[in-house]
Structure 1
Amino acid sequence: MSDTARQTGLIVALDTQDPAQAKAWAHAVEGVAGVIKLGMEFAYAAGFQAVADVAGQRPLFLDLKLHDIPNTVGAAVKALSHLRPRMLTLHAVGGAEMMKAARKACDEAFPEGERPLLLAVTVLTSMDNHALAEVGVPDDTRTQVLRLADLAMKSGMDGLICSAHELKALREALGDKPVLVTPGIRPAGAAKGDQKRVMTPAEARAAGADWIVVGRPITQAADPAAAAAAIAAELAA
């Protein structure tokens, strides 16, 4: 798929512990965001019934980054099936057997055609070469991302969570098949926060992202709806 033909969607990260705040943000970006993201902070603080309440009928990216022994991850996927997420994340470093167990559980627990996209996290966008070295990985981020991406796709994953800076390399190595979801996106002029490897929405689209994830530049804006609309317009330009 050419860069000009690629349609890149917007996922809005609702990073809060407050269900009322999450609902307000979800309502504000409705009609602009293709998907809303709820992750560990919200699920652990508010509970999974609150996840269901905030999501409602909206497409949900459930970002729990599952990582455990294969049997436990498979059981967790089945336990989450009542939430009917559109996307669900797990760590590729959990290995092939763990990812295969998640895919098997997903296929068994969801009705045909309704299972979520299983997205493998490669290298967190908060990590750089130094951080990888600290945990015993001697290679640079690009090499590690490509290694884990190849393993993930061979293990039945639908796509990958990756930094925008690895998008081009992943497209070159794996083609159009993987769904590439890219956090660490910051509009021009926005603060980077704790993200070290970032791009603008337009840059991520050009590099091959299917979806971008944006949180604080939208949710902390004076007008979240307008901020989300501006990013959606940038993606569509």
Structure 2
Amino acid sequence: MAPSLLLTLSLAFSLLSPHHPAEAGWRWPVDPPVGVLRRFDPPELRWLPGHLGVDLAAEPGQEVRAAGTGRVHFAGEVAGTPLVSVVHGDLRTTYLPVESDLARGDPVAAGDLLGTLAAAPPHCRDRPCLHWGLLRGDDHLDPLSLLGLGEFRLLPLTPERERSARRGASTHSRARSPRAWERHPAPAPKDVHGPRPPLPDGVGPPSPHGSARRPPTGPRVRTASHRHGRTAPRPSRRRLRSGQARGWARR
């Protein structure tokens, strides 16, 4: 099925569904008019850079409200940043940096006050903002999808998709692979002396350490050392004296 047809069907089902997010009681966490400074931009793999939420324009001290009905899951500081999270069934919304007097388990309705935007530490570099996140379990989702404004994704964020993306990344990123040289060996060096004539049958290429050697096919035979007309046995593998040599007899 073509991707364009899948996207059309997804749009149709989302608009015809009786539980469309825009009609389920969700709202913006700040009062309108709302300015979206940065949208949801998840990475292909979990350890790559991305943006797991949306940044909304807000000023220090501005009221931050619950996007939907639920219960406070956390209200406190994480790594020095004040944060509030609210659970809504299997979903969880997060708001930072937000200072709050609520406690874990407190019920909230859509539009109830959660706290105020903290002046420090800022989340955005250029100006104050509210970072609004949405999770289902450990998977980050687009918070704007609660309002029917999020981007439609044909593939869900599942472990299978992550493994598939990892396999695709290893295939298309061979330059980063530490074993890429095994798949792409270096080309053989060119012979600057030109082509060499073929060798006779049974003769291998010359050895880089001297004359050509034929691998032994039978038991090794010791050679004899001739000195002053007498025949002496070949010296052992111990240290050789000056003038002695060792080798293998040719048949």
Query: Under a length normalisation based on structure 2, what TM-score does the superposition of the two structures give?
Result: 0.23
Structure with the higher fraction of residues in helix conformation: 1
Q: Which has the higher relative contact order, 1 or 2, with Cα contacts under 8 A spaced 6 or more apart? A: 1
Structure with the higher fraction of residues in strand conformation: 2
Query: Under a length normalisation based on structure 1, what TM-score does the superposition of the two structures give?
Result: 0.24
Greater radius of gyration (CA): 2
